[in-house]
Structure 1
């Protein structure tokens, strides 16, 4: 009898010791690698489905926010939820059982929201299935996967409900942009002469901005077709710069092109060349930076969420100005008043000129990333390698944003005021976001 009691005691101690040990699967997801892979797939699908740059920013943002909201649950109070901080994002509580593996739940939330916001859902679902199969093979038990997915999808559902109130779906039925005959107004450009993209994007609810025109740019230079006028000189500057590009300037222009609408014409044949959006390029930079800094999976989720929010609000503010000023593009002006055979080296995007979208969103993202990684952060931007372009290296996010902005002059896409004033707007948006949104608690900030 005493022997039996001793055996039972030993078994009890062994069970207790086992239950106190870290589970074998706890370190399967330690960094952002799986979310980065999911983001890469989302980028591929965004390109495949040909989403516009503003719409693409929306897809990245809600997906990244969902992943971050699960990460907050694992942060031991060190990270703060975006609920109650983003416009209209209501607070709610989520129960986390001991069977939930939060890094996996975060990934499940990302996949569900991303899948809901695209057309080619089967592509994202297949990628998720492959990722989860791999994770299971690494030792995550089926019951843990099931519980984790259930929590992740609950958070995703809350984010999806939030997304449905941002006026996006209503805006799909708004009237199209009507082309004006005014000589200063934007006109569709060759070779496709596409209609203006997202003329009502300023009606989409921003995440942080109080209003789309909160950081309203000063008016563009007054239109004038007379040689020697201020506007003529701005167009002439674009004309001369493009005609005398160095190889480095040309490389910069193509590196930052990011035009999902590029159409090639060869004889009587037209074919599309699918490219990453400018927001997708900066989400790639965010992932690269997280890897470079060796962030854990929670920090990676924070980086992607905050960067995507900056891009989303940046597009809203930029598009608000674009369809207020509705300014003529350099290609149209130069062909009419300077040289009818001139062409920019990049294809002109299908929306008005002022302000430069690249300048706005790049600087908004750069300010946000600088707040996370510091001023002198060296990174190797390999985002465009998949599209046949070489890497470029930068010593800071702000220098990368400067290059992205001036690339639009080199490409023949923008006049200088659109670049300068766009960059200013983007910096203000980024700085406002950094001051408005708190993700790390004071406890973590003091470490």
Structure 2
């Protein structure tokens, strides 16, 4: 299980309810059915309805930048969490969830308005008419409008995120555009965006990467050279499969992971809403922190390092998978994974109540099944090495950075859930 300070854990217990969290972390599969039955089951259905609507809207009409889509999730579900605190009525809370998420999606993913309108109509039809329904719906819409206004100009739009990066002159250790596309750097402007809860983008900046020529640097590079090469004979088929499975967008890969936690949670509509909200708040802040660190260190990618190595350079070396267009340190896939694991571990428990299965956008038709939130992180670390696109030091630093940012989210969550 992850190590974590008692302070964010206590905050999480307060947020979700001590009894519910204890049931989640301690109860086995046999106990789960009795806990989930009744109102919790109905709450889960309502939350999953809007979870799936959010995922579908963003998949069909979302932004081209991952962090912008994380922002949409964070705004919609944070607004829903805020709106639900106005009443303990289950009808009010379900209507508030519907009003907040619908209002947010119509504003932030306008091409999908008709689809989310249909979800709203069907969801509200299942609720009894009356003051609780009307007030909850109005509260959700108002909370969404306020939060959208609050986040206006936060620098998380696609154009701001991908601000032009002035490539530095070539030098040992310094990032340069990579083959085969030699594309311009991405996510440079992300570091200047306004976080939700970080005090600054550099708050948890990791320690520097291993120095060029150091034993750790040479070991990292040798590992990628051997196991990450396009034509590697050392990499096994299982390793290649892992690299390919985790190559796709972390945002897409972790959407079904979070859904599994939401579906299996025995808690209320409000608690499940908070889980989704804090997950994406943490991931927005993590992506801001990741870009700050990447462009602070501007570390060259393995393909550049191997081709220009001081000892035994290989000018023709290519990785198994194309290298993304931004610096090596830290690994963005692993910051995402570390943050996701920390949020799910603290707010749900270290293990899923039941095994969950996820697909991959980069391995069509392939699925993998997990029983906890930690194994995906371990696979992500290996995968980026075996893809030939990150050093292990960058991967491990990414996990630590993601955990740090997520812990900060949990520690300061009360500032958002007002």
State the TM-score, normalized to the length of structure 1: 0.73
Structure with a larger share of its residues in helix: 2
Q: CA offset at residue 188 of structure 1?
A: 2.1
Indicate which of 45, 48, 51 corresponds to 1:36.
51
Q: CA offset at residue 137 of structure 1?
A: 5.1
Q: Which residue in the other structure is 2:83 paired with?
A: 70
Indicate which of 109, 115, 121 corresponds to 2:106.
115
* Greater Rg over alpha carbons, structure: 1
CA distance in 1 between partners of 2:287 and 2:87 (Å): 31
Task: Report the RMSD for the aligned CA atoms in angstroms.
Answer: 3.2
Indicate which of 107, 114, 121 corresponds to 1:126.
114
Q: Is 1:103 paired with 2:101? A: no
In the alignment of these two chains, the number of paired residues is 368
Indicate which of 352, 355, 358 corresponds to 2:333.
358
Q: Is 1:161 paired with 2:149? A: yes
Q: CA offset at residue 241 of structure 1?
A: 1.4
Structure 2 vs 1, CA of residues 366 and 75 (structure 1 numbering), >3 Å: closer, same or farther?
farther
CA contact (8 A) 1:28 1:135 kept: no
CA distance in 2 between partners of 1:367 and 1:28 (Å): 24
Q: CA offset at residue 140 of structure 1?
A: 5.2
CA distance in 2 between partners of 1:348 and 1:202 (Å): 20
Q: Which residue in the other structure is 1:316 paired with?
A: 288
CA distance in 2 between partners of 1:430 and 1:238 (Å): 29
Indicate which of 165, 175, 187 corresponds to 1:177.
165
Q: Which residue in the other structure is 1:14 paired with?
A: none
Structure 2 vs 1, CA of residues 340 and 117 (structure 1 numbering), >3 Å: closer, same or farther?
farther
Q: Tell me, what secondary structure is at the counterpart of 2:257?
A: helix
Q: Tell me, what secondary structure is at the counterpart of 2:369?
A: strand
Q: CA offset at residue 229 of structure 1?
A: 6.8
**Map 1:389-428 → 2, pairs under 5 A:** 389-428=365-404
Q: Which residue in the other structure is 1:61 paired with?
A: 74
**Map 1:372-387 → 2, pairs under 5 A:** 372-377=347-352, 379-384=355-360
Q: CA offset at residue 65 of structure 1?
A: 1.0
Q: Which residue in the other structure is 1:216 paired with?
A: 205
Q: Tell me, what secondary structure is at the counterpart of 1:161?
A: helix
Structure 2 vs 1, CA of residues 132 and 198 (structure 1 numbering), >3 Å: closer, same or farther?
same
CA distance in 2 between partners of 1:167 and 1:295 (Å): 34
**Alignment gaps of 5+ in structure 2:** 1-41
CA contact (8 A) 1:285 1:383 kept: no
**Alignment gaps of 5+ in structure 1:** 1-26, 77-97, 259-276, 442-447
Q: Tell me, what secondary structure is at the counterpart of 1:382?
A: strand
The worse-fitting range, judged by mean Cα deviation, of 294-303 and 431-440 is 431-440
CA distance in 1 between partners of 2:255 and 2:262 (Å): 11
State the TM-score, normalized to the length of structure 2: 0.78
Structure 2 vs 1, CA of residues 421 and 385 (structure 1 numbering), >3 Å: closer, same or farther?
closer
CA contact (8 A) 1:302 1:439 kept: no
Structure 2 vs 1, CA of residues 28 and 213 (structure 1 numbering), >3 Å: closer, same or farther?
closer
CA contact (8 A) 1:367 1:427 kept: yes
Q: CA offset at residue 44 of structure 1?
A: 0.9
Q: Which residue in the other structure is 2:405 paired with?
A: 429
